[in-house]
Amino acid sequence: MNYLLKNWHKITLIVLPAMIVTISSAALFRDWRQTDSQKAIRLVRESKSRKENFTIQQYLYATVYYYQQNGEAITIEGWRAEPDAAPAQFLISFTYSDSQGTHQALWEANPSTRKVTPKNKEASDLSWQ
């Protein structure tokens, strides 16, 4: 036990890098196992929004989800991915309903090129393009 207490800094230099490698490997494995449609949805969620330093998902939580939690009559259908006519491209939609009607933001996402393009006004209002 005294050996461990005297040499804690050496043990730290071995254990800490091993932990970093293990965690990084697990994250890469998780990303590798995702389907292309899940990658496309994540790509849209993590893309930049009109609000400075916010992603699309953060902007939605700051607006739509916030209003829903504060008691407004908002029904969130959520995210959906459908394959597009072009190979490896997906149409990603986020749909919710409020007192003004149903709103659907539509993006085109290509996970292999990491490109996101808004396809309607609702998506353009959310996205930075």
List the chain pLDDT tens, one digit each, 129 residues: 777 778 888 888 888 999 999 999 998 888 778 788 899 999 999 998 887 789 999 988 888 888 888 888 888 899 999 998 778 899 999 999 988 899 999 999 998 899 999 999 999 888 875
Among 110, 106, 128, 109, which Cα is nearest to 119's? 106
Q: How far is CA 127 from CA 52, 76, 112, in A?
A: 11, 19, 20
Q: How far is CA 124 from CA 8, 27, 49, 103, in A?
A: 54, 31, 9, 13
Contact between 60 and 47 (Cβ < 8 Å): no
Tell me phi and psi for residue 81, to 5 degrees. -120, 135
State residue 129's pLDDT score. 59
What is residue 128's DSSP assignment? -
State residue 85's pLDDT score. 79
pTM as predicted: 0.71
